[in-house]
Amino acid sequence: MPKQWLTVEEIAEELGVHPETVRIWIRERELPAVQLRRTYRVKKEDYEEFLRRRYTGKQEDGQDHPG
């Protein structure tokens, strides 16, 4: 079964940013997340949508899309 939830640390490592940057995106409601006690979990599909919204490549012709 594919992993459906990502941690802040996993996202930070993949993007090469500090985990606090990911937490800021979550607190500013740019990246949807679920808070479980003192940690956040991000649904993989929400993370992928977050990346799509920020993609600056060619999108009109269907080329250069991430992932």
In this structure, how many other beta carbons lie within 10 angstroms of the beta carbon of residue 22?
Answer: 27
Percentage with pLDDT > 90 across the chain = 76
For 39-66, how does the pLDDT look when each residue is reduced to its tens digit (9 = 90+)? 999 999 999 999 999 998 865 555 555 5
The CATH code of the domain that includes 42 is 1.10.1660.10
Whole-number Å distance between alpha carbons of 26 and 33? 6
65: in domain: no
pTM reported for the whole predicted model: 0.79
Whole-number Å distance between alpha carbons of 17 and 46? 18
20: in domain: yes
pLDDT value for 22: 98
For residue 45, the enclosing domain spans: 5-54
Confidence of residue 3 (pLDDT cuts 50, 70, 90): confident
- Helix H or strand E encompassing 49: helix 44-54
61: in domain: no
> What's the total number of domains in the chain?
1
Q: Which residue is associated with the tokens 């899309």?
A: 65
